[in-house]
Amino acid sequence: MAKLNFGGVEENVVTREEFPLEKAREVLKDETIAIIGYGVQGPGQSLNLRDNGFNVIVGQRQNSKTWDKAVADGWVPGETLFPIEEAAEKATIIQYLLSDAAQIAVWPKLKPHLTSGKALYFSHGFGITYHERTGIVPPADVDVILVAPKGSGTSLRRLFLEGRGLNSSYAIYQDATGRAKERVVALGIGVGSGYLFETTFQKEVYSDLTGERGTLMGAIQGIFEAQYTVLRENGHSPSEAFNETVEELTQSLMPLVAENGMDWMYANCSTTAQRGALDWKNKFRDAVKPVFKDLYSSVAAGEEAQRSIDTNSQPDYREKLDAELKELHDSEMWQAGRTVRGLRPESEGVEID
Give the span between the Cα atoms of 87 and 37, in whole angstroms.
Answer: 11
**For residues 153 and 337, which CB has a smaller minimum distance to Mg ion in the complex?**
153
Sheet holding 33-36, edge to edge: 2-6, 9-14, 193-198, 166-174, 143-149, 119-122, 93-96, 33-36, 56-59, 81-82
Among 33, 34, 81, 106, binds ligand NAI (CB under 6 A): 106
Q: Which residues contribute to the site for Mg ion (CB under 5 A)?
A: 208, 212
How would you classify the pairing of strands 33-36 and 143-149?
unpaired
Span 201-220, contacts to ligand X2X by CB under 6 A: 208, 212, 216
CA atoms within 13 A on the CB side of 4: 11
Closest distance of CB 12 from Mg ion, Å: 20
> Which window, 96-104, 130-138, 181-189, 239-247, contacts ligand NAI (CB under 6 A)?
96-104
- Count of residues of this chain found to bind ligand NAI when the rule CB under 6 A is applied: 24
- Amino acid at the residue 146: L
Our CB check for ligand X2X shows the closer of 160 and 266 to be 160
Judged by CB under 6 A, does residue 42 bind ligand NAI? Answer: yes
Question: How many residues of this chain interact with ligand X2X, rule: CB under 6 A?
Answer: 5
| CA–CA separation, 126 and 116 (whole Å) | 23
Binding mask 134-163 for ligand X2X (x = CB under 6 A): -----------------xx-----------
Is residue 38 at the binding interface for ligand NAI, with CB under 6 A as the rule?
yes
Q: Which of 27, 28, 37, 58 binds ligand NAI (CB under 6 A)?
A: 37
Judged by beta carbon distances under 5 to 8 A according to partner kind, the member of Mg ion, ligand X2X, ligand NAI, none in contact with residue 308 is none
Binding residues among 130-159 for ligand NAI as defined by CB under 6 A:
148-149, 152-153
Per annotation, catalytic residue among 113, 124, 131, 236: 124
Q: How far is the CB of 216 from ligand X2X (least distance, A)?
A: 6
| 124 a catalytic residue | yes
- The contacts of residue 152 (CB under 8 Å, 6+ apart) are 40, 44
Using Cβ positions, the residue closest to ligand NAI within the complex turns out to be 39
Contacts with ligand X2X, residue ranges (CB under 6 A) = 151-152, 208, 212, 216
Instruction: List binding-site positions for Mg(2+).
Output: 208, 212, 244, 248
Mark the binding-site residues for substrate, compressed into ranges.
270
**Which stretches of the chain bind ligand NAI, using CB under 6 A?**
37-42, 60-61, 64, 66, 97-100, 102, 105-106, 123-124, 126, 148-149, 152-153
Catalytic residues: 124
